[in-house]
Amino acid sequence: MPNTAFLGTGFFVPPLVVTNEDLTRWMDTSDEWIRERTGILERRWISPDGELTGARMACRAAEAALEEAGKGPQDIDAIILATLSPDHSFPGTSAFLQAELGLPGVPALDVRTQCTGFLYGLSIADAWIRVGQYRTVLLVGVEIQSTGLDLSTEGRDMAVLFGDGAGAVLLGATEEEGRGVLSTHLHADGRHAKDLWCDVSSSIKRPRIAPEDVASKRVFPRMNGREVFRNAVARMPEVLIEGLEANGLAVEDLDLLIAHQANARISEGVQRKLGIPAERVHNNIHRYGNTTAASIPIALAEAVREGKVREGALLGLVAFGSGFTWASAVLRW
Ligand code: UT7
């Protein structure tokens, strides 16, 4: 059975930088509060000119991953795209990405597990490659959060956290033993579905979205921040250790940890629980905020570009988010 290797990584973020100071134009907040509670200094948002879509950002990230791999779109056998903010209700953004890449006939699948979407997608891609169904899979995480945020003071707990962007990896079958994806572990607990969710638009309502939904702000995401925080700090170390133990490995064996960039305080909590030194962790939340499904592939592509991922390195990827869902992947680069 082949293993799943990382052939290339890439990312794209919109050029528009939104600083904490910029946010004070819309809501009662401060650079100091945001820095202290979240570690975020700035994030990227798409501009209102309509130039960038999720599919276009995904395409730019995919092109960078293809370039790094020395491959072209024609080498892609299947596409998986993770997002909680699809460009349209249907079809999925993966269909639009497939069209942008010019790949009619190639299967395109959307994954909807929010912050863990990239890791759920990785698990699916890995299974496809291992059973021999596809040899080369493009996996993208993309998010446009900025258009769905309540920018008034009422929505400030959520609005300051999120950013837009895309990250991609090109995955390919390798016959080399012990290389690539060593394991993925996935979990969910739907009892917490409404602790971090967006109610409307909703297909159980007629119409699915109405002016009163905008007035009552049901169109904006809502979060039980403390519950999310508490669970994130507990579940991420747990599922990473589950992954490491399944491979007969321990935290000390890890060369690099990339955790979903939810909040710097969450990442610090995870790091402390695992007892892993800061130099073996890659964080970028200060630059991009929380880009949900895009956060891990953006951080991974960045770490590769900064020379932090050497051949043979052991990597741990871990995420927690809406659902609740949580997941880990252990990789040998
Ligand atoms: O991928 C998962 C996505 N979600 C997350 O990662 C979020 C997890 N949760 C968190 O990171 C934290 O709960 C937050 C950063 C969202 C909030 O931090 P906190 O320390 O839990 O603050 P809090 O909700 O207890 O609020 C403390 C105070 C409140 O004011 P009062 O009631 O004490 O007067 C809030 O109204 O801070 C206020 N506050 C703000 N003030 C300035 C909340 N948001 C803001 C803001 N600027 N943006």
Q: Is 321 in the pocket of ligand 1 (CB under 6 A)?
A: yes
Count the residues in the chain: 333
pLDDT the model gives residue 303: 98
pLDDT the model gives residue 58: 98
* Nearest alpha carbon to residue 64 among 141, 169, 137, 139: 169
The angle formed by the CA atoms of residues 206, 210 and 212, to the nearest 5 degrees, is: 125
HSE-CB at 283 with a 13 A cutoff on CA atoms is: 22
Q: Is 115 annotated in the active site?
A: yes
pLDDT the model gives residue 314: 98
Q: Is 115 in the pocket of ligand 1 (CB under 6 A)?
A: yes
pLDDT the model gives residue 329: 98
CA of 215 to the centre of ligand 1 (A): 23
Q: Is 247 annotated in the active site?
A: no
Instruction: Provide the β-strand partners of residue 325.
Output: 188, 321
pLDDT the model gives residue 166: 99
Q: Is 290 in the pocket of ligand 1 (CB under 6 A)?
A: yes
CA of 37 to the centre of ligand 1 (A): 7
CA of 64 to the centre of ligand 1 (A): 35
Q: Is 260 annotated in the active site?
A: yes
* Nearest alpha carbon to residue 119 among 299, 303, 310: 299
Given the structure tokens 């880009």, which residue do they identify?
Answer: 291
Give 10-residue mean pLDDT values along the chain (333 residues): 97 98 98 98 96 98 98 98 98 98 98 98 98 98 98 97 98 96 98 98 96 96 96 98 98 98 97 97 98 98 97 98 98 98
Residue nearest to atom 36 of ligand 1 (CA): 157
Q: Is 325 in the pocket of ligand 1 (CB under 6 A)?
A: no
Q: Is the pTM of this model over 0.95?
A: yes
CA dihedral 47, 110, 140, 50 (to 10 degrees): -10
Residue nearest to atom 3 of ligand 1 (CA): 262
Rounded to whole angstroms, the Cα distance separating 250 from 242 reads 10
Q: Is 263 in the pocket of ligand 1 (CB under 6 A)?
A: yes
